[in-house]
Amino acid sequence: MKIMVAVKRVVDYAVKIRSGVETSNVKMSMNPFCEIALEEALRIKESGRASEVVSVGPAQCADTLRTGLAKGADRAIHVEFPGTLYPLSVAKIFKALVDAEKPGLLLLGKQAIDDDCNRTGQMIAGLLKWPQGTFASKISVVLDEGNKVATVDREVDGGLETLSLDLPVITTDLRLNQPRYATLPNIMKAKSKVIKKLTLQDLNVEIRSDLEVVQVIEPPKRQAGVVLSSV
């Protein structure tokens, strides 16, 4: 069974950004939730079948994909698009990719740390009409002949909800696993792994931007308190 993992290249979480979000010289890396999704895919693979890493974005995403390959993914697909993409567009692209690659399981991070949308996974599930298990903190997959089922523990406001789903779209939460390091032998092996490049025309996807960013401002600085003489 093929597992497809979506990864997003975002500003590294340890970097302090000033307002206006300059992304030119800033350290970029794989979204932490996507790392967790990739780790889960690799663990399932180590007791199952292939896993592939897909990312959507401009040319620089290649290093994020290389990191994914260095951690153990078999193949990478890079869909090139130079602008900013919002979740619905990304979801449409992934629908086209899933139709082409036919994976049995799709794993994503629950949200990206730059826009915190928390929408892409759910939208993909909607477009594909696949079941979804979001905010997963535990996943176990059964792959017998007549019985392909994923049991997902979800972290919800009321506690933990356990769902049993026919192979679905899963978005991963923080406590699912601890991502592995890319060790040097795997980094060397990744050099010869393939990154397939695709454009939106190849996938027959047309996207239009329904959202426009009007303004980005910092929250107002915290005012000093007022000392009262009595209450």
Q: x/- binding map, residues 7-26, to other proteins, per CB under 8 A?
A: -----xxxx-----------
Cα separation, 198 vs 188, in Å, equals: 24
Residue 159 sits in the site that holds other proteins (CB under 8 A): no
174 belongs to the binding site for other proteins (CB under 8 A): yes
- Among the listed ranges 6-14, 123-131, 139-147, 222-230, the one in contact with other proteins (CB under 8 A) is 6-14
Contact status: 181 vs other proteins (CB under 8 A): yes
124 phi/psi in degrees, rounded to 5: -60, -45
Please spell the DSSP secondary structure of 3-56, one letter per residue: EEEEE-EEE-TTPPPPTT---SSS-EEE-HHHHHHHHHHHHHHHTS--EEEEEE
In the complex with other proteins, which residue's Cβ is closer, 126 or 179? 179
Within 8 A by CB and 6+ apart from 149, the residues are 141, 142, 164, 165, 166, 167
Question: Are the beta carbons of 101 and 203 closer than 8 angstroms?
Answer: no
32 binds other proteins (CB under 8 A): yes
Question: Which one of 100, 188, 194, 211 is in contact with other proteins (CB under 8 A)?
Answer: 188
Under rule CB under 8 A, residue 197 binds other proteins: no
Nearer to other proteins by Cβ, of 21 and 174: the residue is: 174
Q: Which amino acid is at 177?
A: N
| Smaller CB separation from other proteins, 32 or 104 | 32
Rounded Cα distance between 186 and 20, Å, is 37
Least spacing, CB of residue 90 vs other proteins, in Å: 24
Residues that bind other proteins (CB under 8 A): 12-15, 27, 32, 63, 66-67, 70, 174-175, 178, 181-185, 187-189, 191-192
